[in-house]
Chain A
Amino acid sequence: MKCVVGIDLGSTTTKAVILDDQGKIIGRGITNSRSNYDVACDVARTEAYIDARFGLLGQRLGHLDSDGHLLARLTKAFRLQQYLQQLNNLNQRMAYWARGDRYADCRTELEDFLAHFSQEAEAYGERLFLGDEKPKSDFFRDLAGFCYNTEAARFCEENEMSFDVLLGIYDKSILEVENTPLDKGFGRQIRTAYTRLADEVTGSIFAMVDAIADEDLEEVNAVGTGYGRQRLPFDKAQIRSEILCHGLGAHAMYPNTATVLDIGGQDTKAIQVDPSGLVTSFQMNDRCAAGCGRYLGYIAEEMNLSLPELGPLAQSAAKAVKINSTCTVFAGAELRDRLSDGQKREEILLGLHRAIMYRAMSLLARSGGISNEFTFTGGVAKNAAAVEVLRELVTENYGEGIVLNINPDSIYTGALGAALFAHRDVCAGHLLEAV
């Protein structure tokens, strides 16, 4: 099957979307952006191809798996396999660093801990992927980090060992693991994965999975976008601005889109598009990333919460504390100040969400206002409290008639736009080779 890929290299996450030759989405992949952009791009792309193969498998399984249970189990077994592969890599790297002279005094304890962590992390992975435990993140770095921190804190307390020593080894090693491309051998990994499900999977399914693993997905074009797009290993003609990609992506998701708001990690974009998805005007935050996604990330860290926990907590507030500053650096001080005043965490949090959205409203006004329909994209669109505040402000400023679209896959809007450009280029005969 011929396909095209769009990659959105953002400041926080890197996303990839694959389209088939009809321009239909067949796969999506996401990873955390990291110091090595090439690897981030490669990982997101690999993930999107994996997703595409599982999508194809779902189609082939058809009535054999009408409730999707089998596909979900196979996917989870595959994810566990990936997790274990990365865990193995992490263990090797940590063992290597632990052999260094600087740890001579505590080597025995260190090796004991690493062996213990290896066992715990493997068991944690099995609970996450084949058991009932809910993952706190989609990314290996966060999952392994959570387990490592928990175990390291306990170990240090019991053995009077320095936490910093353990943390230092993990930090160095996880960077190396992250900068290693993912194993692209889908067939090999899925075959290892389904042996775990030997009791659930029959021989004919094995054959079907093998066929999918061998299916040729030929990438005929790729377009890159996002904050780090200049660093993508693509030819200049295969690079598009994220403004255009978000405009086109939002239009593809909701064809009546006239205004797009995208709040990403470090920029906010207000975009106006015409009925064919062409951008007619845009505004972006300048000089300062106050009020962008990173702000929420920072607040989450300050409150010792994960990002997905922020929105629901803010939504539980009865009222919002008024906060004017959207400066990420000041946010911590603002937060502590309000807490020391006796304000409730959830009310402060709701106030912070409002502050972000006021800023977004100002940018929207600068770009020409909000016209019907209005599509909200980017990582912050996943935050229910942010959406609620936005909805309220839109009604307050532009009346009741504005339709607000938020797609569950809105984080992929830029990558979808890029993939659509790649598809258009192919249709127009402007086939470009990935470098």
Chain B
Amino acid sequence: MKVKDQSMTLQKDMIAEHFTRLSKAEEQGKKVVYTFVPGNLTELILAFDMLPVLPEINALQSGMRKKSGRFITEAEKQGHSEDVCTYVKCDIGMLKSGNIGPTGEQLPKPDLLLLSYTGCFVFLKWFELLQQEYNCPVVMLHIPYQADGAPSPNMRNYIAKQLREKVVPALEKVSGKALDGAKLSEALAKSARAEEDFVWVLESAKTKPSPIDAYFGGVYYIGPIFTFFRGTDQAIGYYSALREEIEDRLAQGLGPMTPEGPMAEERFRLVVEGPPNWTHFREFWKMFYDEGTVVVASSYTKVGGIYDLGFRHDPEEPLETLADYCLGCYTNLNLPSRVDLLEKYINDYDADGFVINSVKSCNSFSAGQLLILRELEQRTGRSGGFIESDLVDPRYFSASNLKNRLESYFQMLEQKRGGVHK
């Protein structure tokens, strides 16, 4: 049985609608910008009436729809090694298989590759490959890594300058339109409204029992704001509806919705670091909810922007606010900042422990995770679990091994708690 919240259906419809829009881009004369989720400049792209395509979203959607394995094999046939990021291989394989998107509709070619670099080295190589395929212009937005743990005014100015002098002119050239500052500000104001409701939803997990799962459910909640809809009325509508839905769950004292209905009992509250596995997403989720485990906060739901620390897009300073947004994405944080954030989540959300899902594909995420594990255990006194899988390569999802480790971890938490079966 598959049970969905209304918001999940709404989100799915919005994404599907966007893919349909993309499939008609060429016939409708719409220009297309390929870009990445961390540091995406959706408001700016939409201000030029251009359509964004996010290759990571294509890959993860293909993973969820069981198409990624075939695409990865195709990319490997083209010579991409086993060690290459599977998002990249999935994307390249999809392209080589006719560029049919996850919903079965044709994806348009890019008119511009907007390379927003926010901590992931692979992004550079990825768009190099796409540039060779499409022979289209690339504009790079370099986001300085937060090596010292905090953004500086210089960094902010550096990004705003790049936006003003490189990115906006490139968008103007490709779209044939001048930047409409008022339109951009209006979109940023809409972003801020949606962000308010989004943060309220994330923070609802502080309640016991939590009305949401902030990882498995969270990936649905971040959908609109991390992808094509930030700065739109649709996003405002979605987050307002989502908030109402969660308010209702809170009022009824209900736990999170799972694919098999509302979770009956909240036994463990966890924080999760690392992206989920997409190829066996429901099976992976089931390993948690079957044990009464709810994820109350996660770092993955911050890759497209960290809003719960107070950042909101500011329509008064359009380019500078985009700079602040890009600087603050989770992928752009250094290791100590990531530890601080996870520690804060464990404490603020009163988690029983934390799990790190170390994915084979993603060096940006995985490097240093064992250090994170030790440091968090030391600082919080709460136990960490360590599991390994992959983003979209189904060959790296070993269900029985994962289940074995997770069960052991949950039993360890139970034992530590001094429960019945100590």
Query: Does B associate with A?
Result: yes
Bound CA span A240–B404, Å: 10
Bound CA span A32–B177, Å: 75
A237: CB under 8 A from chain B? yes
Contact yes or no, A281 B383, CB < 8 A: yes
Beyond A278-B415, A421-B421, A425-B421, whether A241 also contacts B407 by CB under 8 A is yes
Please name the residue on chain A nearest to B390 by beta carbon: A287
Contact yes or no, A286 B401, CB < 8 A: yes
Contact yes or no, B416 A287, CB < 8 A: no
Beyond A280-B383, A368-B374, A424-B422, whether A244 also contacts B416 by CB under 8 A is no
Please name the residue on chain B nearest to A277 by beta carbon: B415
A242: CB under 8 A from chain B? yes
A428: CB under 8 A from chain B? yes
Interface of A is mostly: mixed
Residues of A within 8 A of B416 (CB): 278, 280
Please name the residue on chain B nearest to A238 by beta carbon: B421
A116: CB under 8 A from chain B? no
Residues of A within 8 A of B386 (CB): 283, 366
B396: CB under 8 A from chain A? yes
Which residue from B377, B396, B412 sits with its C-beta under 8 Å from A243?
B412
Bound CA span A241–B396, Å: 23
Contact yes or no, B398 A287, CB < 8 A: yes
Contact yes or no, B412 A244, CB < 8 A: yes
Bound CA span A240–B420, Å: 13
Contact yes or no, A286 B398, CB < 8 A: yes
**A267-300, CB under 8 A of B: which get 1 and which 0?**
0000000000011111110110000000000000
Bound CA span A424–B414, Å: 15
Residues of A within 8 A of B388 (CB): 286-287
Residues of B within 8 A of A286 (CB): 387-388, 398, 401, 405
A319: CB under 8 A from chain B? no
Q: Which of A317-334 contact B (CB under 8 A)?
A: none
CB distance from A431 to the nearest CB of B (A): 12
Please name the residue on chain B nearest to A241 by beta carbon: B408
Please name the residue on chain A nearest to B374 by beta carbon: A368
Contact yes or no, A240 B396, CB < 8 A: no
Partner-B contacts on A (CB < 8 A): 227, 237, 240-244, 278-284, 286-287, 366, 368, 421, 424-425, 428, 430
Bound CA span A278–B415, Å: 7
Contact yes or no, A244 B411, CB < 8 A: yes
CB distance from B355 to the nearest CB of A (A): 12
Contact yes or no, A430 B421, CB < 8 A: yes
A-B contact count (CB 8 A): 58
Residues of A within 8 A of B398 (CB): 286-287
Contact yes or no, A243 B421, CB < 8 A: no
Contact yes or no, B396 A282, CB < 8 A: no
- Given A280-B412, A286-B387, 5 other A-B contacts at CB below 8 A? A278-B416, A279-B408, A280-B377, A284-B401, A430-B420
Residues of B within 8 A of A279 (CB): 408, 412, 415
Give 18 pairs: A residue, B residue, CB < 8 Å, sorted on A.
Answer: A240-B411, A241-B411, A243-B411, A244-B411, A278-B415, A278-B416, A278-B422, A279-B412, A279-B415, A280-B377, A280-B383, A280-B412, A282-B408, A283-B386, A287-B388, A287-B401, A368-B374, A430-B421
CB distance from B419 to the nearest CB of A (A): 10
B384: CB under 8 A from chain A? yes
Residues of B within 8 A of A241 (CB): 404, 407-408, 411-412
B370: CB under 8 A from chain A? yes
Contact yes or no, A281 B408, CB < 8 A: no
Which residue from B370, B387, B412, B422 sits with its C-beta under 8 Å from A366?
B370
Beyond A240-B421, A286-B398, A287-B398, whether A281 also contacts B384 by CB under 8 A is yes
CB distance from A414 to the nearest CB of B (A): 12
Please name the residue on chain B nearest to A282 by beta carbon: B408
Bound CA span A287–B398, Å: 7
Contact yes or no, A428 B415, CB < 8 A: no
Bound CA span A428–B422, Å: 10
Bound CA span A257–B374, Å: 20
Which residue from B374, B377, B408 sits with its C-beta under 8 Å from A244?
B408
CB distance from B164 to the nearest CB of A (A): 47
Contact yes or no, B421 A242, CB < 8 A: no
Residues of B within 8 A of A368 (CB): 374
Bound CA span A430–B420, Å: 8
Beyond A244-B411, A279-B412, A286-B398, whether A237 also contacts B421 by CB under 8 A is yes
Please name the residue on chain A nearest to B412 by beta carbon: A279
Bound CA span A237–B419, Å: 13
Residues of A within 8 A of B405 (CB): 284, 286
CB distance from A272 to the nearest CB of B (A): 10
Bound CA span A227–B407, Å: 12
Bound CA span A11–B268, Å: 30
Bound CA span A251–B250, Å: 44
CB distance from B321 to the nearest CB of A (A): 41
CB distance from B331 to the nearest CB of A (A): 24
Bound CA span A353–B189, Å: 65
Nearest 4 CB-CB pairings of A with B: A241-B408, A243-B408, A286-B388, A241-B411
Which among A240, A278, A287, A430 has the highest number of chain B CB atoms within 10 Å?
A287
CB distance from B79 to the nearest CB of A (A): 24
Q: Which of B193-244 contact A (CB under 8 A)?
A: none
Residues of B within 8 A of A283 (CB): 386
Bound CA span A425–B387, Å: 29
CB distance from B287 to the nearest CB of A (A): 13
Residues of B within 8 A of A287 (CB): 388, 396, 398, 401
CB distance from B291 to the nearest CB of A (A): 10
Residues of B within 8 A of A430 (CB): 420-421
CB distance from B125 to the nearest CB of A (A): 25
Please name the residue on chain B nearest to A424 by beta carbon: B422
Residues of A within 8 A of B370 (CB): 366
